[in-house]
Amino acid sequence: MIEIQSTKNTYVKELKKLHRKKGREEQQRYLLEGFHLVEEALRSEATVVDILISPRGAKEWASWIAEQTVPMTYISEEVMEAISEQPTPQGILAVVSFPKPKKMTLQGKWLLLDCVQDPGNVGTMIRTADAAGFTGVFLGEGTADIYNLKTLRSMQGSHFHIEIQQGDVEQVCQAFQAAAIPVYGSELNEQAVPYNTIKKTEQVAIIMGNEGQGVSKALLSKTDANLYIPIYGKAESLNVGVAAGILMYHFS
Amino acid sequence: MIEIQSTKNTYVKELKKLHRKKGREEQQRYLLEGFHLVEEALRSEATVVDILISPRGAKEWASWIAEQTVPMTYISEEVMEAISEQPTPQGILAVVSFPKPKKMTLQGKWLLLDCVQDPGNVGTMIRTADAAGFTGVFLGEGTADIYNLKTLRSMQGSHFHIEIQQGDVEQVCQAFQAAAIPVYGSELNEQAVPYNTIKKTEQVAIIMGNEGQGVSKALLSKTDANLYIPIYGKAESLNVGVAAGILMYHFS
C-alpha cells in the first residue's frame, strides 16, 4: 500500500483547489467529507472518482473498505488535514464528479432559491425539500454554491435524492406558469396572502429569497401570488430555512 | 474622551472572560454584538451595563450615540477586535446583565429543549417561538447556552420578547401536565402520531430533542403523545430547527 505523505504532491495540490468554487468548476468535481456522506454517494447515481483514506480512517472502516470496488488513495494524517476542511477530519473523503446536466422536470413541487446567501440555509432547504417530497430545488444566480462544504454538511446527502437545477429564476418561473403550475413568492408583508389560506395543489413552485432583502421585487411582481407566514409575536421575521420548511410542508 | 487602548487593561480582561460560559456566570452578564441587537437590548427590560464603542462605531452612529443616556466606554479598534467575537466587528458592543430569575408562567404555548446542542439551532428555535406567538422557551440541561455568541446571533433579540427559563425538562413536563396542558414529544418514528392529526389547542408544550439522539426515551414515555413529521422523500430526518418551526406553526 502506497501512502501519499507530502502535502506538495501534485494530486494533493489539485484536490486542495476543490475548496474553492473556481477549482471545483475547473475540475468538474467536489469533495465530500465523512463516512456517512461517502456511503450515500456510493449508493447514489453519482460518479465517485476516488476515495481518500488516512490511517485513522483505514483502521475505523477496515471491513467496509475491504468490500469496496471503487478506486482508493491512501494519504497520511498530515495530508488528510491539508485536504479536509473539518477541524478534526474523520479520515475519509470522496472525490465526486459533478453530475451530467439533465433536462429539468417541469412538474411536481419545486423550491426556487433567489439569492439565498448562507450555505447552511441552502443545504437545510434542500434537505427539507427532500423530506417534504419535493421534486427538486432550483438554485438561482447569487445563491450559495451547492458544493460548498457548509452546504454539503447541512444538506446531508439530499442532493443525491432530488433534482437540483441551476440558472435564471425568472425564466424558470415563466416555464412553470406556461405549464399551468402556480408560482408563489414569499414575502414579509401583511398585504401578501397568508400561506395557510392557499389551497394545497399537487404541483407548485415556491420562491424563497435572500436573508436580508427577501425575494427580488421584479420576481414578486410576476408570481401568481405572494405568500406570507403570519408573525404572532415580536420577532421581525423567520429564518429563511424555517420559513421554507413551513411553506413546503403546507403543500405536502 | 478617554479611550481604552490596551488589551491588557483590567476591564478589557474581565470583558474577554465573557466569551466563555464560566465567565458569564461568574460576572452574571454577557456581550451583545452589533448595532441592531444593542438597540433591541436598550428597548427591552434588560439592564445594559455599558456600551463599548470603537472609533469606527463612534463615526457610524454619532447622532444615535449623542441621544443615549446609558454608560459608554470608548475603546480602540485593537481593543474592539480583542473583545469582539466577529471577524470584522461593527464597532459597537453592549454589556448586558443576566435577567433576574422570574417565576415561570405555567400557561400558554411553550417549547421545551432537551439537550439541543447546536447554538445556531437553539437561537433559531427561540426566534421561531417568538414569531409563532409562543409564551416561552424552556432550556433543559445539556442544551447550548443562550448567551453563546452563535445563539445570540441566530436568536436576533427574541430572548427580549418571550420568556426564557432553564432547568429540568422532566419536572417542568410534570408541572404542565398537572396544569392540564398537553405535553407532546417529537420523534422520528412512524409509530408516533402524525403532527397534523393533533387538534390545535390554546395551551401546549412541545419537546424538541438532541440533533443526533432526539428526545430522551425517559421523557418520551411520560408525554401525552409523541408527534412525528412525515418524511415523504428519502431524507432521513429534518433539521431540528425546521421541525420545531413546522410543529409550532401547527399550533399558531
Question: What is the C-alpha end-to-end distance of chain B, expressed in Å?
Answer: 50
**pLDDT for the residue numbered A66:** 93
Is residue A18 over pLDDT 80?
yes
CA distance B246 to chain A (A): 5
Per-residue confidence (pLDDT) for residue B2, from 0 to 100 = 80
Q: Does B128 touch chain A (CB under 8 A)?
A: yes
Q: Is it the case that residue A6 has pLDDT exceeding 80? A: yes
Test the A interface: residue of B249, B250, B251 with most A CBs within 10 Å: B249
Residues of B in contact with A155 (CB under 8 A): none
Q: Which three cell numbers stand for residue B184?
A: 407532546
Segment A107-127 mean pLDDT: 98
Tell me, letter by letter, the H, E, C secondary structure of chain B. Answer: CCEECCCCCHHHHHHHHHHCHHHHHHHCEEEEECHHHHHHHHHCCCCEEEEEECHHHHHHCHHHHHHCCCCEEEECHHHHHHHCCCCCCCCEEEEEECCCCCCCCCCCEEEEECCCCCHHHHHHHHHHHHHCCCCEEEEECCCCCCCCHHHHHHHCCHHHCCEEEEECHHHHHHHHHHCCCCEEEECCCCCCEEHHHCCCCCCEEEEECECCCECCHHHHCCCCEEEECCCCCCCCCCCHHHHHHHHHHHCC
pLDDT band at A28 (very low <50, low <70, confident <90, very high): very high
pLDDT for position A180: 97
> Sorting pLDDT into bands at 50, 70 and 90, what band is A191?
confident
| pLDDT > 90 in chain A, percent | 96
Note whether B243 contacts A245, CB cutoff 8 Å.
yes
Does B37 contact chain A (CB < 8 Å)?
Answer: no
Instruction: Tell which A residues from 138 to 157 touch B, by Cβ distance under 8 Å.
Output: 154, 156
Which 233-252 residues of chain A touch chain B by CB within 8 A?
Answer: 233-239, 241-246, 249, 252
pLDDT at A187 over 80: yes
What pLDDT score does A2 carry? 80
- Cβ contacts of A132 on chain B, cutoff 8 Å: 232-233
Mean pLDDT on A40-51: 96
ipTM (interface pTM): 0.94
| Comparison of pLDDT for A43 and A191, the residue scoring more | A43
Interval A64-79: pLDDT, tens: 999 999 999 999 999 9
- Show residues of chain A in contact with B162, CB under 8 Å: 233-234
Chain centre distance of CA B119: 8
What is the pLDDT averaged over residues B178-196? 94
State the smallest CA–CA distance between residue B145 and chain A in angstroms.
20
- Across B123-134, average pLDDT: 98
Would you say residue B215 has pLDDT above 80?
yes
B189 band by pLDDT with thresholds 50, 70 and 90: confident
Place of cell 415580536: A234
Residue B26: the pLDDT is 98
Interface test with A, best of B121, B160, B202, B246 (most A CBs within 10 A): B246
Task: Tell me which chain B residues have a C-beta less than 8 angstroms from the C-beta of A233.
Answer: 129-134, 158, 161-162
Instruction: Report the residue from A120, A129, A232 with minimal CB separation from B252.
Output: A232
Domains of chain A: 2-97 (3.30.1330.30), 109-250 (3.40.1280.10)
**Span A205-216, average pLDDT:** 96
Q: Which residues contact A210 (CB under 8 A, 6 or more apart)?
A: A114, A115, A116, A117, A142
| Cβ(A173)–Cβ(A106) below 8 Å | no
pLDDT category at A152 given cuts 50, 70, 90 is: very high
What would the mean pLDDT of A221-248 be, rounded to a whole number?
97
* pLDDT interval class at A98 (50, 70, 90): very high
Residues of B in contact with A234 (CB under 8 A): 130, 158, 161-162
Q: Which residues in chain B have their CB less than 8 angstroms from residue A111's CB?
A: none
Give me the pLDDT at residue A86, please.
87
CA distance B178 to A126: 41
Residues in chain B: 252
Binning pLDDT at 50, 70 and 90, where does residue A8 land? very high
The answer to whether the CB atoms of B236 and A132 lie below 8 A apart is no
| Amino acid A190: pLDDT | 83
Residue A250 has pLDDT above 90, yes or no: yes
From B130, B232, B235, residue closest to A252, measured CB to CB? B232
Q: Is the pLDDT of residue B198 over 80?
A: yes
Confidence category of residue A181, pLDDT binned at 50, 70, 90: very high
Evaluated on CA atoms A151, A156, A158, A160, the torsion sign reads positive
**Considering CB atoms only, which of B154, B235, B244 is closest to A158?**
B235
Q: Mention every residue, 6+ apart, whose C-beta is less than 8 A from residue A43.
A: A160
Shortest CA gap B235–chain A (Å): 5
Q: Does A87 touch chain B (CB under 8 A)?
A: no
Residue B76 in this model has a pLDDT that exceeds 80: yes
Q: Shortest Cα distance from A45 to chain B (angstroms)?
A: 14
